[in-house]
Structure 1
Amino acid sequence: MAEFTFHHGGVSVPDLDAAIDWYDRVLGFALERRFYIEAARSHTAMVRKGPLRFEIFEVEGAAPLPDDRRHPPCDVKTHGNKHVAFRVADLDEFLAEMEQKGADIAFVVREAFGKGCFIRDCAGNLIEFVEETDDEA
């Protein structure tokens, strides 16, 4: 089987500059580069934090994110890509930091199978953060 590694996740937003600022201020992603994708009519940015990247699209004439895509239990009821997830060492510490930064915390899970949370970026896109137990790593 061909080998591959993760490269980036992508989100569409109504305001590229606001999203670049949000991903930097809240999650520590720095602007790597900006470019325009003619075929999509998209002002685009790649932001990076270590090996992790997000591609952010501001597409001319794009529709806003539907309300049911903003809440994890509703979002999974529609086929398609859902979110990206990142590992955190301590969920409670992460949540405290996100609250301090004014992040929109959408959903918190603390179950026998694991714990994590979803936050919404400045456009309402869901991002998951998971605290793994020792037997998951």
Structure 2
Amino acid sequence: MPHVNGFHHVSLSVSDVDASLEWYQRVLGFEVLARRGSDGLDKAILADADRTVAVVLVGHGPAAVPGDFDERRTGMDHLGFAVTDRAQLEAWAARLDELGVARSQIKAGSTGELIAFRDPDNIALEFYTR
């Protein structure tokens, strides 16, 4: 059986690449690695400072299907970012509060603790302890 050794990236369809790009940089501290347009798509490739997490923001232009993100629709339910421990989770909670990003309280998940929050397109995101 061939081996998969991790995720290369996750792509998120967004309504406004520029607005989402600014939010992911400001809130999560992601860096822009590239910005490309092709075949009617507008793509921004971002990563964390260590380049261990890559997120691609994709604008579909006139081909976009209107409507808000809904985790109950077939497709992605949410995106969980791993954090090392409770102290990191508390630091992220403080950062989200400082930036006025609505979030859940720290709560127990299936395999750790988490904070749930949403991006500008209402995409469900989490910080989750390993």
Alignment gaps of 5+ in structure 2: none
Q: Taking structure 1 as the reference length, what is the TM-score of the superposition?
A: 0.77
Q: Taking structure 2 as the reference length, what is the TM-score of the superposition?
A: 0.81
Deviation of 1:109 after TM superposition, in Å, equals: 5.5
Structure with the higher fraction of residues in strand conformation: 1
Match of 1:79 among 70, 74, 78: 74
Alignment gaps of 5+ in structure 1: 70-74, 133-137
Q: Contact between 1:47 and 1:54, CA under 8 Å: does it hold in 2?
A: yes
Deviation of 1:59 after TM superposition, in Å, equals: 1.1
Q: How large is the RMSD of aligned CA atoms in angstroms?
A: 1.9
Give the structure 2 partner of residue 3 of structure 1. 3
* 1:35-114 paired onto structure 2 within 5 Å: 35-38=36-39, 41-49=40-48, 50-61=51-62, 62=64, 63-66=66-69, 69=70, 75=71, 77-88=72-83, 89-90=85-86, 91-105=89-103, 107-108=104-105, 110-111=107-108, 113=110, 114=112
Q: Contact between 1:14 and 1:64, CA under 8 Å: does it hold in 2?
A: no
Q: Contact between 2:9 and 2:54, CA under 8 Å: does it hold in 1?
A: yes
Q: Contact between 1:47 and 1:53, CA under 8 Å: does it hold in 2?
A: yes
Instruction: Give the SS at the match of 1:92.
Output: helix
